[in-house]
Structures are given as C-alpha cells and as structure tokens.
Amino acid sequence: MIEDLGRKLAEAEQYLRERIPASPEVGIVLGSGLGGLAEDIEKEVEIPYWDIPHFPVSTVKGHRGKLIFGTLSGKRVMAMQGRFHYYEGYSAAEVTFPIRVMRLLGVSVLIVSNAAGGVNPHFRPGDLMMIVDHINLIPDNPLRGPNDDTLGPRFPSMHNAYDRGLRDLAIEVARKKGVFLRQGVYVALPGPNLETPAEYLFVRTIGGDAVGMSTVPEVIVANHMGMKVLGFSVITNVANPYQPEPATHEEVVAMAERAGGELARLVKGILELL
C-alpha cells in the first residue's frame, strides 16, 4: 500500500505530461534481456526513473531504468526499460506504480515481457510463450489496502487478464511471420533464488508452464485500471524435476537476449495491426 497514492500518481503524471509531445497509446514493459526492442522505437523523449517524482529506482545490474516515449510500428508507445521486482525489496504496490502512471497518461494496451523457466516438458530453452493466464504466488498484492475507486474496482475480475482478442491477434501475427509461439500459464514466485527441483515440480503440478519472479503484479494493476494486457515469456531454461540441471543467472540473461529478437519481431507485427 502506498500512502497518498492518488496525489503521488498525479505528481508523476504531471511531471511526465510536461515533457512528452503526446499521449501514449501502448505501454511496453521490457523484461530481462529483452531491451533490444528499445532500439527499434523512434524515440522522442527518454526520462530516467530517478528524475520522476515517486518512481522507485531499480537496483539490479543490467536493468537500466528509464522511460522511453516515441513511436513503434506507427503507434505511440511508452516503454519501461528496466522494471522493478518484489525481490528487490519493493512492495507489489511500489513495483506497479509506473503501470498506474501509464494508464493515467492514456495507455490502454499493455505489453509485458519476462524471462521465465519452463516446466512444461515440451518446452525448450529459447522458446517464446504467450501468457494465457497466471497464478500469483508472490506473497503480496498491489491492490492490498484501501481501494481508490477512482482508479478501479475493489474486486476486479481476472477472468480475461490476458486479453483474448489481443491473444488471437498475436497468434495470427506469429503464424504470418513464422514465429513459433507457445502458450501457457505463468506462475510468479517471489524469488530471488531459482527454484529447487521440488519447487519446479510443484509449479508444474499446480498447472504452470513457466515460472518467474515478475509480471503478475503489473498485470493485476493493469486489469484493475481497465487496460488490455498481452504478455510474453522467453523460456530461458527448462527444469526437469527428475533430472535437474542447475540454471544460472548468466544463462538466463544470455538466452533472453538471443530469443529477444524473435519477440521484438512479433511485437512490432502486433502493433501494426492494433
């Protein structure tokens, strides 16, 4: 819970409005190693997080923290280069502050990406997975505390958390562009350690296809505020609980960068048709 959330959001919104040429339509969260897409944005304004009132500041190496405003595939976009994680010590409400600001600035479609471990036995490192649903196992919720009814409802539906229409569009674009796209359920754990073999098996058993440490708080808040969401995981490593092979953070980052190009191609194709 953030004290005075409404006032803080208004201050961040005003700060950004004074510096951007027009309202963004699409928000993009560039996850781990997927910053490559940032290079394709025709940039108009870049603003480091630390300049923006009440924005958290990222602590993880390799997570550069700035907002990028510009156009991508003819759409006005606002991208977060570097995101915040629960494991860094922020609350889920703090992690999602920038998502709320996106909505206030005019964003109606949010595209999120992350790196994740695959627990579906068909998955291979480097696969792209479109998120069809999630399970939140992060022991915090960004909506905990008094609800600000001007932002969204007390009990928002999560029935279509990853918008069906956008998913259909993504499938069509992937087919046309020859991008191999998996689909599955993303399970969010708090991290920061990677999972034990028993935990990977648990994630699979409860219905997960991939596991990671982000994204779900952002998606909850985006739905709270009425945004349509599309989410993708780059499967950086796969976990076979019966023949565990340890994943390292270095492997995860290297694989995310390699598969990031495919995802960038897909996202650009989707934006063209929005």
Where along the sequence are the contacts to ligand HPA (CB under 6 A)?
A: 115-117, 194-195, 211-213, 236-237, 239, 247, 252
Q: How far is the CB of 113 from ligand HPA (least distance, A)?
A: 12
129 is catalytic: no
Coil, strand or helix: which one is 90?
coil
Question: Where do we find the tokens 């046309």?
Answer: 176
Q: Is 60 helix (H, G, I), strand (E, B) or coil?
A: coil
Q: How far is the CB of 245 from ligand HPA (least distance, A)?
A: 11
Check 12, 13, 32, 94 and give the catalytic one. Answer: 32
Task: Let me know how long the chain is.
Answer: 274
Question: Catalytic site residue 88?
Answer: yes
- Which is nearer to ligand HPA, 234 or 270 (by Cβ)? 234
Residue number with the smallest Cβ distance to ligand HPA: 117
**Closer to ligand HPA at the Cβ: 221 or 247?**
247
In angstroms, the CA 236 to CA 256 distance is: 6
Coil, helix or strand at residue 98: helix
Q: Which of 10, 87, 141, 251 is catalytic?
A: 87
Instruction: Considering the candidates 54, 63, 134, 224, report the single residue annotated as catalytic.
Output: 63
In the complex, minimum distance from the CB of residue 65 to ligand HPA, in angstroms, rounded to a whole number: 19
The C-alpha angle with vertex 95 and arms to 111 and 91, in degrees rounded to 5, equals 145
Round to whole Å and give the CA distance between 99 and 131.
Answer: 18
Distance separating alpha carbons of residues 267 and 209, to the nearest angstrom: 21
Is there a catalytic annotation at residue 32? Answer: yes
Q: Is 245 a catalytic residue?
A: no
Catalytic residue of the set 213, 225, 247, 255: 213
Q: Is 115 a catalytic residue?
A: yes
Q: Is 85 a catalytic residue?
A: yes
Nearer to ligand HPA, 14 or 196 (CB): 196
Q: Residue 91's closest CA among 268, 221, 247, 211? A: 221
Q: Name the token pair of 61.
A: 């190496």
- Residues forming the active site: 32, 63, 85, 87-88, 115, 213-214, 237, 249
